[in-house]
Amino acid sequence: MGRPPHKVVDLFSGAGGFSLGLEMPERLNGIANLGYEEIGFEDDLFETVLAVEADDNTAETFRRNFGAEVFEGDIRDIDSFERWDDAEVVVGGPPCQGFSNLNKTQTEELDDERNTLWRQFLRAVEEIEPDVFLIENVPRFLKSRQGARTVEIAEELGYTTVVDTLWAHEYGVPQKRKRAFVLGSKLGVPFFPAKTDEETRTVRDAIGDLPNEPTEENWHVSRKHVTELSEKRFREVPPGGNRHDLPEELMPECWKNKTRGGTDLFGRLWWDRPSVTIRTEFYKPEKGRYLHPEANRSITIREGARLQTFPDDFEFYGARTRVAPQIGNAVPPKLSYHIGDAIADHLDGKTSDIDPKVDTEHEVFQKSFRGGEVEQARLSVFNE
């Protein structure tokens, strides 16, 4: 008999991208032509015991795929997390409505911070006292006052923290997605996983086996009610092209004088590259580079899920417009798996041999360590 799995609390859990990569990574094997064959841990290393999710459809998606207790509602409605104080790991991506600059902190903002969602994450950490916690957010979080306060408070709670931004495609995800992470530990100096030596996965690897014509089954569905004008626009965009390839007579008025920026708007994906970041409205070409590499349509919900490394048997709940945000907001399970592997090593006693108190460019943030070694100082530069 092996030891019991490490218990995990998944806050702002979304559909379960974090939990899938930690608890059930073997479900990723065999996705499309991504070449995932030996993903998984020798033992069941992690078990999610609580998920907290405010959106009803998203919470139901989590329930249908995991055995954890699901609290459906506002995290601020949980009086205490002490009932789950046997959890060793707390993970989550607290949503933020915006970030204040470090050098423009407002007094009223700090007075109200205990009601903010990132602070609620730290309340859970304070009450559960896990060995390790992990926060995921957009890169700008590490350049914000909220990010700095997160590290300050975590250090006051006795955690050693490291921060980094990771690119998903460097871990076998067929998507160029950059996200920020704050990793804290009471066991020593934690570290992020080293980049894998896998070949870069592409859009073709992820969705090339799916029919160009959506089947309307298992979420291989595209945007409905496409106008004739939109279809004409689709046909004008070549592989790798974008809105600038539209003839003037087909261009929306708001784009005619917008000659700079927005090169991904109304863009078509490349077959042989990773996709751009899959966001919450990836079924809308006007929101980014979300046209199919070949077919004259936006990518389907299933294609978006594949590019995020959700397996085809993962059960999503809700209408198409409610499922797409579940996919776009998720941590890619393949990336979560590699982070989980590093966390498991750390829980087993491995720590970085680098002194986290070395000089850095900022008094709050410390250098990031991958695989226990300094790859480079992954620090944001701040104006003090």
Sort 253 into a burial class: Cβ within 10 Å, 0-12 / 13-18 / 19+.
exposed
**331 to 94, 129, 146, 167, 325: CA distances (angstroms):** 12, 23, 20, 11, 12
Name the CA radius of gyration of the chain, rounded: 21
**Strand (E) or helix (H) holding 324:** helix 320-328
Q: Which of 54, 96, 221, 354 is catalytic?
A: 96
Beta strands in 232-360 (DSSP E): none
What is the residue-wise DSSP string for 50-70? EEEE--HHHHHHHHHH--SEE
Q: Are 29 and 37 in contact (CB under 8 A)?
A: yes
Q: Which residues make beta-bridge pairs with 136? A: 181
Indicate the pairing of strand 46-53 with strand 89-92: unpaired
Q: What helix, strand, coil percent values describe the chain, rounded to 5? A: 35, 15, 50
Q: Kindly report the CA angle at 300 between 299 and 305, in degrees rounded to 5?
A: 100
Beginning with the edge strand found earlier in the chain, give each strand of the sheet holding 69-72 in spatial order: 69-72, 46-53, 6-11, 89-92, 132-137, 178-185, 160-167
**140 to 163, 194, 384: CA distances (angstroms):** 12, 22, 17
Active site annotation includes 96: yes
Active-site positions?
A: 96
